[in-house]
Structure 1
Amino acid sequence: MFETEKSTASAWFRDLRDQIVAAFEGLEDSHAEGPFSEMAPGRFEVTETTRQSDDGSDAGGGLMSVMRGGRVFEKVGVNISTVYGTLGERAQAAMAARKGIPGMADDPRFWASGISLVAHMQNPHVPAVHMNTRMFWTPHAWWFGGGSDLNPCIEYAEDTAHFHATQRAHLDPHGSEHYPRLKAWADEYFYIPHRKRARGVGGIFMDDLCTGDWQADFALTQDIGRAFLPAYLSLVERRRVQPFDEAEKEAQLVHRGLYAEYNLVYDRGTKFGLETGHDANAVLMSLPPLAKWI
């Protein structure tokens, strides 16, 4: 049961990954003026990742695609994975508490597939960004999650407005209630309690989506993914040519410190990936190449 749905979702996450990788390499090729344009265009290095169960058997894997030191991207990762097996006791307890799923102790099998993206940029005027979409299945339930959020160290109101408007345009066909609900969810989720501030200017976020209509929930998840490139590419094209000074680069590095704190302390995906034994380098690819704390 659900084998067709699983393979459909996994294949779509792979297709979205291919579109984004091609678009990002296209940005590298087209950056012909402005800071860093004299450098060689960056290219993704692609590595297969694997996950092993506790008994050493195959438990899935994926592709880790990372570009470092490009003209536009200082570091960007676009990862996909499809993993399966049984949840360990800690992961079972966390999942049961969060979702109230009965029977996890008796049948802790799971399957999960998704795409995860984080981009840290060369030019501090270009905002960092995060996006992911995923599907999770157990014998007791299935659900979708994901979203994207913008993380500028130097905020431009028009960039923030464009990012949010594009997401709303993709969500509204599924119902006008979705965008305000997912925006509020992102504002709550991407908040750093110990700093008493958001990590960026928000976006959309959802988790635990299971209305009982798999096709409708998958369609909404797809449009969260489809919104990403039109929401983000024009911002990169607009800001990558701007000159910057030392103080602005310093502001970028300090802001990256906030991003690292959030991902290591609060991010559910980081915790789940490490607890279920996925490749640690793939799980932690979201961390910036350089950051500062003051």
Structure 2
Amino acid sequence: MKDAFDTEKSRAAGWFRELRDQIVAAFEGLEDSHDTGPFSDRTPGRFEVTKTQRRAEDGSDAGGGLMSAMRGARVFEKVGVNVSEVYGTLGDAAQKAMAARGIPGMDSDPRFWASGISLVAHMQNPHVPAVHMNTRMFWTPHAWWFGGGSDLNPCLEYAEDTEHFHATQKAHLDPHGEDHYPRLKAWADEYFYIPHRNRARGVGGIFMDDRNSGDWEADFALTQDIGRAFLPAFLPLVEKRRVQDFSEADKDAQLVHRGLYAEYNLVYDRGTKFGLATGHDANAVLMSLPPMAKWV
């Protein structure tokens, strides 16, 4: 799918892959360094990497990616770090969804290209918060845009952890304009809300979608710093909380909170809906679901 945006597409896809490599290395480093506290007697976890493939309706190649998963490890009960680069033609339902978001011309030329990174981590120790992060670029012949963000999902909340997570994101966004953080924080609060539970999924973070200021370089740089903020926002929380002892009640609270997470991702999440609707690998799309959850 060659066009005038080939260079930009290549740069964006390359950055998402680079960010994936950094995160995978950092998470395996957490596994290696966890030598005291709960689960430290286990063998350090390693990611299992699987190629994913998307097929068009006619069976032709339509891109794919890498699904990197780690399960039952020292620090991580289940974590997925996926990258993808897919392309093809949007079906009727996806065309209508794009038109509803104000993207013109999809009925006459419904080609698309999309690339991104998506991460969800569910932790062994209930004192360590679950976390989600993604960044992406979407292209059609009529428009392009970026999206993404990250949000923290603790079952046992610590005010200082929430403060650190948000402060780190603000520090990475402020160089692009001090209006970005409060706006993207408010957007996350709205987006990561579970209407049928009348509550937020977690303690928030940042979120943006349909980002096209007309300046591709500026929007790409903003998207990169959303990604760069993730590790310094999250790793210190893991290092601090992974050594804490926990009770059966703590673990029960974690499982109940995971139920909320599963409900949100299956009912409301745009990425889940888009991935399944466009024929991407279902295992990769549903990697976000927790390994075990509970409903009361």
Aligned residue for 2:194? 192
User: How many residue pairs get matched?
Assistant: 293
Deviation at 1:122, TM superposition (A): 0.1
Match of 1:22 among 20, 25, 33: 25
**Equivalent residue runs for 1:1-294 within 5 Å:** 1-98=4-101, 100-294=102-296
Give the 3-state SS of the residue equivalent to 1:82 in structure 2.
strand
Deviation at 1:102, TM superposition (A): 1.8
User: Structure 1 unaligned runs (5+)?
Assistant: none
Give the 3-state SS of the residue equivalent to 2:197 in structure 1.
coil
> What letter is aligned with 1:37?
S
> What letter is aligned with 2:285?
V
Partners of 2:165 and 2:52 in 1: CA distance = 31
Deviations 1:223-278 (A, max 9, x none): 00000000000000000000000000000000000000000000000000000000
> What letter is aligned with 1:184?
A
Partners of 2:26 and 2:106 in 1: CA distance = 41
Give the 3-state SS of the residue equivalent to 1:63 in structure 2.
strand
Deviation at 1:74, TM superposition (A): 0.1
Identity percentage of aligned residues: 85
Give the 3-state SS of the residue equivalent to 1:103 in structure 2.
coil
Partners of 1:275 and 1:255 in 2: CA distance = 27
**Runs of 4 or more consecutive aligned structure 1 residues displaced over 4 Å after TM superposition:** none
> What letter is aligned with 1:261?
E
Q: CA RMSD in A?
A: 0.3
User: Structure 2 unaligned runs (5+)?
Assistant: none
Partners of 2:281 and 2:256 in 1: CA distance = 28
* TM-score, L = length of structure 2: 0.99
Deviation at 1:103, TM superposition (A): 1.2
Partners of 1:251 and 1:96 in 2: CA distance = 41
> What letter is aligned with 2:41?
E
Deviation at 1:95, TM superposition (A): 1.0
Partners of 2:257 and 2:7 in 1: CA distance = 42
